[in-house]
Chains A and B, each alone.
Chain A
Amino acid sequence: MAFSALTMAEQVRNQSAPDHLAELLSRVAQSRDRGAFAELFDHFAPRVKAFMMRKGSNAEQAEDLVQETMLAVWSKSQMYVNERGSVATWIFTIARNLRIDKLRRDKAQLYQDIEDFDAPDGKIGADEAMGRSQEDNYVNKALAQIPADQRELLILSYVEDVTQSEIALKLNLPLGTVKSRMRLGYQRLRKILEQVK
């Protein structure tokens, strides 16, 4: 299809499509492509900032963490393995780890990166290779299909800074109930995702 045949909306969609993001990241990894990096920044920085702010950072702290996250993307780009998940997931884990690291920082301990527990030979187990079949938009569609009380709990966990005990306290539910609701919602989500595969 000729580029000119694409509508504006299609162009925008293509620019944030998982394949395009993976392509940008591989250009960073292979040739230190600054243009590709800037595009990744423009796509992910506002998302990482929102994530940090929902998790309790103020705007300034959130931008510090955005910068750290995106510099880690530049530094670790060669470690991204497409088969293990989307670029969004990879950047999400980097951002999450940096945030945890910051919380733990008043001790000398450095956070152990997700790569630290990768298999030594770099081989990927069958169930680990969810890769392309589990694109982000499937997850969001799947989220919409699970019961509201379970979905809310799941989303609450991902976007807010609350432990399960705090959720239990807030909703005036026993911790066991919160955990089992979370478990049910998550298991249902996984089942839906497996059917999409």
Chain B
Amino acid sequence: MSITLQACAQCGARQYPPRDLCRVCLADALGSVEETGEGRLIVSAIVHRSLEPDFAGDLPLRIGTVHLACGLRIIAFVDAGLADGAPVRLRQEAGRDGAALWYAGALETGA
């Protein structure tokens, strides 16, 4: 399983959230790369109150900061049972309105 990230064809920098030019060298040469999605759940928090009524039925929701091995940080939903600090694998799934959203899940070990 892999994830797709925005990357610069000139200097190789990855970036998130997506931008319109490379954040490092400012080149107008953005494309995408496949990454493993492996990283660490640095910290998580539990949303009990949302600013949008649309989310009311989904609460509470667990969100967290995932620090990817490639150095980026991504705010994601966090699967149940994952401890803060745990190694995780990010994946993208369609959220409620169909848009692809990030989810942090357990990093499967072994083969």
Whether A and B are associated in the same complex: the answer reads no
